[in-house]
Structure formats: structure tokens, C-alpha cells
Structure 1
Amino acid sequence: MSLSNNSGNELANDPLNSKEAVKPQIEPIRLPTVEEIRGQDIWNNCAVRSVASGVMGGGLGFFMGLFLGSLDRPLMQEEMTGKQEFIYQAKQMGKRSWSSAKTFAVMGLIFSAVECVVEKARAKHDTTNTVVAGCATGGSMSAKGGPRAACAGCAGFAAFSVVIEKFLDRHD
């Protein structure tokens, strides 16, 4: 049952269905400006990239510390007044946020610096750089616990880095 009385001539005359469909125009290649090239050169500097990662890691750690510090409850909560509990919570949030900010800043700085240096030394952008950077970061962050802790930190952070790398699918 057809809703149209036309015999299909409209489809033949339709420009989208014809063989003479409009072809997309080819756009010219746009070369980067001098400012864009300078920006890329600055960002490709390992020191700049490492400091930026450290600052971003510190910011993330600060906010995580605020959140986790707000979850801390005093043991003597029933005996505290509202003002005492508020002061306790504020102190806990401050301590946690500062501690987490330092940890995440150092972690971001080390990881980014090692990954950048290894990438430039190998002249490749692949998962091996991530494994080496993860191992160096995990090992250095847990080195105070002794050689066994450093090895476990190296293996654990390298594995975590590879999982995150595969999840984000940055490399081929």
C-alpha cells in the first residue's frame, strides 16, 4: 500500500540519490602559527611538563584531602559541642588536604618527569615509557619502607599505570 501516487520519479530526480551528489570540498592545509609552535616547544620541555603535572597533582590531592578529611569523625563525638566538632573537622580537613596535596604533587612530578625523559631518550611514544615511569614513581614513593616495599611499589604503580594507559588508550 503506497501513500504516494508517484511512480518513483521523485526518487530518480532527488539530488541526494542521484549519482551526481555534491562532493565535499577539500580544505587547504593550515600551517601552525609562530605562537602555536612556541607553545608546543614550551610544552615539550620536560621541566615545564613536570612542574605542570606536579601543580595539577597537588590540586587534585588538595581536593581529595578536603573530601576525605571531612569524613573523619572524632572518637569523643558525643561529648563534643558543635563548635568543638567544627574546629576538629576543619583541622582534620586542613591536615589531610595538605598531606594529600604534597603526595600527589610529588607523584605527578616524578611520573611526568621520568616519562618525558624516557620518551625523549627512546624517541618513542609507547607503553614502555609508562611502565618505566610508573616503576620509578612507585619505587621512589615507597622507598622509605625498605627494598621490599620499593619493589612492591614499583610493580604496583607500573601495573596501575599500564591499566590507566590502556583505559585512556593514549598509545597505539
Structure 2
Amino acid sequence: MSILSYGGGLGLAMGLFLGSLDTHVMQEEMSGKQQIIYQAKQMGRRSLSSAKAFAVMGFIFSAAECVVEKARAKHDTTNTVVAGCVTGGAISAKGGPRAACAGCAGFAAFSVVIEKFLEGHN
């Protein structure tokens, strides 16, 4: 399975969970059936939104890591750091340079932690 399907699946699961937490509608004015329908729609919307976001994140990371690995002709942690930085920076770029730098650093660090964790399980 590709990283896109893992990302999309994770996003779908997150959306289902987070969509079920959205209860700001006036529940006393809705029947039980209306509440169930409303919650199901919210969960569906959040699931699709999260699935798209995680799939895009997975695509950017995979593409960046592939390009860096091909250019360096090595498979090591440096590729993960660069791919994480590119992904974090790209995702948070809308927030400006400071947000892009923070996203770069945060996602690079997270990527290394995950890489080290998975390294021990292979």
C-alpha cells in the first residue's frame, strides 16, 4: 500500500473520531433521528477533509524523500529530515515565513522520531 492510502485511511479515521465530537448544535431543538443524521453528516465531512489533508501530506513527504534519496544516492536519516522539512514548510507556508520555519523544524523532528521508531520494528 502506498503512503497516500495510509494517509487517507488515517485521515478518514481521524475525521470519524473528530466529527463525532462536534455537538454545538442546539440538541434540545432536534429529534433523536435529526441528531443522528446531523452527526453522521458531520463525521462524513470531517472524514473527507482529514483524508484529503493526510493524503496530501503523505504525497509531499513521499515525493520529497524520493527526490532527495535519488539525488543523494543514499538511504539514510538525512533524507527523512529533508523530506520532513519540505513537508512541514509546504503545509504551513500559508501562515508566513515564521510558520513555515516552525513547520519545517517540527515536521523534520517528528519524521526522525517516527523513522527511528520504525527502524527498531524492521
1:135 and 2:90 equivalent? no
State the partner residue of 1:72. Answer: 22
Of 68, 71, 84, the match for 1:118: 68
**Counterpart residue number, 1:62:** 12
TM-score, scaled relative to structure 1? 0.65
Where does residue 109 of structure 1 map in the other structure? Answer: 59
Secondary structure of the residue aligned to 1:71 is: coil
Q: CA deviation at 1:88?
A: 1.4
Tell whether 2:86 aligns with 1:148: no
Spell out the pairing of 1:5-84 with structure 2 (5 A cutoff): 52-84=2-34
Partner amino acid, structure 2, of 1:128 = T
Match of 2:110 in 1: 160
Q: CA deviation at 1:78?
A: 2.8
In structure 2, the gaps of 5 or more residues are none
- Letter of the 1:152 counterpart: A
- Which residue is equivalent to 1:86? 36
Give the Cα separation in 1 of the matches to 2:102 and 2:38. Answer: 35
Please state how far the C-alpha of 1:66 moved relative to its aligned partner.
1.2
Greater helix proportion = 2
SS of the residue corresponding to residue 20 of structure 2 reads: helix
Query: Number of matched residues?
Result: 120
2:63 aligned partner, one-letter code: A
Structure 1 unaligned segments of length 5 or more: list them: 1-48
In structure 2, distance between residues paired with 1:77 and 1:144: 36
Aligned 8 A contact 1:74 1:88 in 2: no
Deviation digits for residues 54-85 of structure 1, max 9, x if unmatched?
23211221122112212221341233210121
Q: Higher Cα Rg: structure 1 or 2?
A: 1
What's the offset of the Cα at 1:97?
0.4
Q: How much has 1:134 moved relative to structure 2?
A: 0.3
Q: d(CA) in 1 for partners of 2:16 and 2:25?
A: 19
